[in-house]
């Protein structure tokens, strides 16, 4: 395929990530060569389906590949076992069996749900990811985390199940709402902080082109994020240790998101959580520099929030911190930066410092 490519190295379950403008129109030819399935079920939501569903379907048909669209109502509210049941019934009614495969076309919700459906339908069929949001392109479509929400919490039912390929078309970001694009940029900045100070500098130097969606810069930016993610996942697929660094900003971020009743979008909450963790770092790690001012500066360049809104209830945030599914045996693990490009994981954070950071008093 004529696009930048990266491999997620997982032995016989390794897979390519293709990145660049126009990738959507190349998927049919690649799937034909790959022969993952006899026919393909494209799972997408009501928004993305309208924009790109038929384009992908036609691209597959041109290659002589049989495919059908399955559309669910857009939004996190659909990411549940009921929708999975309905989609599984539709697949069964259309005669999908173990020789067939799925395509996740959409943002994080479509990707997580389709992956889970693929992991469980007929005890597992192949699937590929076609992420259409920046967050999905740089994070959720890579690494095999799949799942749905239950009333007790987000992503509490799921499976690690890797796709066969990830197709990232940077052109699709043109139709992404501005706010969602900015939210995705918080995850992009995360990679600079956790692993790569030169990438952090790249994000500083190229903010104009990145904000204007310049295709060459976008491809380089997404490529670096996927390289870092692929490298981490290859070393620790099931989050036994290293993969936790990808949760930088998410521990406090999830608490902020939940305490706002999800009125603060995920990426914005992660931006706030990254600054909060940067402020905790000098008090919790024995060495390191305080990166909070430099990080705040970059986040603000991209129009991202950096402080916890005063109206959020500190008690509720504390409760959500403890309930986070990344809590292990009642211990809350924090990913804290000791400089730009390096983080450490610790559960030794003083409760008074956590309270201070939640009340914006640090």
- Selected catalytic residue, list 82, 123, 152, 352: 123
Q: Which one, 59 or 111, has the nearer CB to ligand GLY?
A: 111
- Tell me the CA end-to-end span of the chain in Å, nearest whole number: 50
Catalytic residue, from 79, 224, 244, 266: name it. Answer: 266
Label the pairing between strands 127-131 and 145-150.
Answer: unpaired
Rounded-to-integer distance, Cα 332 and Cα 252, Å: 10
Q: How far is the CB of 359 from ligand GLY (least distance, A)?
A: 27
Active site residue 247: yes
Residues in CB range of 258: below 8 A, 6 or more apart: 316, 317, 320
Output phi, psi for 34, to 5 deg: -75, -35
CB 170 within 8 A of CB 302: no
Catalytic residue, chosen from 79, 145, 154, 279, is 145
Closest CB 145 distance from ligand GLY, rounded Å: 5
The residue among 49 and 111 lying less far from ligand GLY, judged by its C-beta, is 111
Examine the residue annotation and report whether 229 is marked as an active-site residue of this protein. Answer: yes
8-state DSSP, 203: H
Min CB(247)–ligand GLY separation in Å: 6
Angle between helices 351-358 and 266-284 (to 10 degrees): 140
Task: Copy the structure tokens of residue 131.
Answer: 């992420």
Residue 199 Cβ vs ligand GLY, minimum distance, rounded to whole Å? 17
Q: Can you list the alpha helix ranges (DSSP code H) found in 35-177?
A: 46-48, 54-62, 81-93, 108-120, 134-135
| CB closer to ligand GLY, 74 vs 246 | 246
Judged by beta carbon, residue 59 or residue 244, the one nearer ligand GLY is 244
Complex with ligand GLY: residue 74 or 232, whichever CB lies closer: 232
Active site residue 207: no
- Active-site pick, 34, 39, 204, 243: 243
Residue 32 annotated to the active site: no
Catalytic residue from among 79, 224, 244, 254: 254
Q: Rounded to whole angstroms, how far apart are CA atoms 333 and 280?
A: 12
Residue 204: active-site member: no
> What distances in angstroms separate CA 118 from CA 27, 91, 166, one per listed residue?
19, 11, 15
**Smallest separation (angstroms) from ligand GLY to the CB of 190:** 9
Q: Is 266 a catalytic residue?
A: yes
Residues at the interface with ligand GLY (CB under 6 A): 139, 143, 145, 243, 246
Please say whether the beta carbons of 140 and 108 come within 8 A: yes
Q: Which residue among 180, 187, 227, 257 is the active-site one?
A: 187
Degrees, nearest 5: CA angle 270-337-162: 60
Q: Provide, rounded to whole angstroms, the least separation between the CB of residue 143 and ligand GLY.
A: 4
What is the greatest pairwise CA distance in the chain? 63
Nearest distance, CB of residue 254 and ligand GLY, angstroms: 11
69-108 per-residue burial string, b: 16 or more CB within 10 A, e: under 16: bbbbebeeebbeeebbeebeebbeeeebeeebbbbbbbbb
| For ligand GLY, the closer CB: 145 or 279 | 145
Complex with ligand GLY: residue 65 or 274, whichever CB lies closer: 274
Name the catalytic one among 224, 247, 257, 279.
Answer: 247
Catalytic residue list contains 250: yes
Q: Could you list the active site residues?
A: 123, 145, 187, 229, 239, 243, 247, 250, 254, 266
């Amino acid at each position: 395929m004529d696009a930048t490519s990266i491999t997620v190295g997982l032995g016989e379950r390794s897979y390519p990530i293709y990145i660049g403008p126009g990738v959507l129109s190349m998927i049919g030819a690649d799937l034909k060569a790959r022969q993952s399935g006899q026919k393909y079920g494209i799972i997408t939501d009501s928004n993305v389906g309208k924009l790109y569903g038929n384009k992908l379907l036609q691209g597959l048909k041109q290659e002589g590949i049989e495919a059908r669209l399955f559309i669910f109502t857009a939004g996190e509210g659909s990411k549940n076992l009921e929708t999975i049941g309905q989609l599984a019934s539709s697949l069964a009614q259309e005669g999908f069996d173990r020789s067939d495969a799925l395509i996740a076309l959409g943002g994080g919700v479509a990707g997580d749900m389709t992956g889970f459906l693929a992991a469980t339908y007929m005890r597992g069929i192949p699937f590929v990811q076609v992420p259409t949001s920046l967050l999905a392109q740089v994070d959720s479509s890579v690494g095999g985390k799949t799942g749905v929400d239950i009333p007790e919490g987000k992503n509490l039912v799921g499976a690690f199940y890797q796709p066969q390929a990830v197709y990232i078309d940077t052109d699709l970001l043109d139709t992404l709402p501005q706010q969602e694009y900015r939210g995705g940029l918080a995850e992009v900045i995360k990679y600079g902080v956790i692993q790569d100070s030169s990438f952090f500098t790249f994000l500083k130097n190229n903010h104009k082109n990145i904000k204007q969606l310049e295709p060459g810069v976008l491809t380089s930016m997404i490529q670096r994020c996927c390289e870092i993610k692929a490298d981490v996942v290859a070393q620790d697929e099931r989050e036994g240790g290293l993969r936790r660094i990808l949760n930088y900003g998410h521990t406090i971020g999830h608490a902020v998101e939940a305490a706002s009743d999800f009125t603060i979008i995920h990426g914005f909450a992660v931006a706030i959580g990254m600054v909060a963790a940067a402020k905790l770092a000098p008090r919790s790690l024995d060495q390191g520099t305080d990166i909070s001012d430099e990080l705040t500066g970059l986040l603000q360049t991209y129009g991202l929030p950096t402080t916890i809104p005063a109206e959020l209830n500190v008690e509720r945030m504390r409760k959500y911190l403890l309930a986070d599914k990344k809590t292990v045996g009642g211990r809350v693990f924090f990913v804290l930066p000791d400089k730009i490009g390096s983080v450490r994981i610790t559960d030794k954070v003083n409760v008074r410092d956590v309270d201070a950071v939640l009340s914006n008093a640090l």
